[in-house]
Amino acid sequence: MKEETLQSDAALENRITVRALESSDMEAFAEIMSLPGVRRGTLSVGYRHIEQLRAWREKQLKRGVSVCACLDGRMVGHAGLEIYRPSRAHGAHLGVAVHDAYHGRGVGSALLRALTECADASLGLRRIELSVFCDNASAIALYRKFGFVEEGRSRGYAMRDGVLADVLHMARLVDAPRLQTI
């Protein structure tokens, strides 16, 4: 048994660090995106090549924020915000991927906590949107924990395992930031 499986989820959660995704992380990122659970649970195409991810990261640097979660120096998750264009610059789209072996262990919470804090305090975003497969109960519960609510359902939205699958559209909307007086 791995050391991680012997420890409580709370002990693991305290050891997770979140930092900016670096170009040197692309191999670990590609590994995560190729895992069976990540391929099945996200609306992203799996089996990403390192060069594809490098090109994606360069675009992401210009219009968003991309972070990774690490446990004892190993990447165990990734999340990013893609900020929308001018008339929707108050909003962004969220994407999350957690290593198959670390689901339900605090990685998703650490990633969402970091990105929602960044969205609120640094980016001034007021709306974050996402799409999630309707049967991904653990992801839906995680998003609800961070204030996301269901806004709609699209039938046959994405191909998964050769079958068209339904998704929920969820969003987190916050009030306009208050002015701070000194």
Query: Given this model, what pLDDT does residue 10 score?
Result: 67
pLDDT at 40: 93
What is the predicted pLDDT for the residue at 70? 97
pLDDT of residue 112: 98
Q: Which two tokens stand for residue 141?
A: 């519960």
pTM beyond 0.85: yes
Topology of domain 3-173 in CATH is Aminopeptidase (3.40.630)
Give residue limits of the domains in the chain. Answer: 3-173
Round to whole Å and give the CA distance between 37 and 145. 21
Could you state, in chain order, the average pLDDT of each consecutive group of 10 residues for the chain (182 residues)? 47 88 93 93 84 85 92 96 92 97 95 97 95 97 98 96 96 76 66
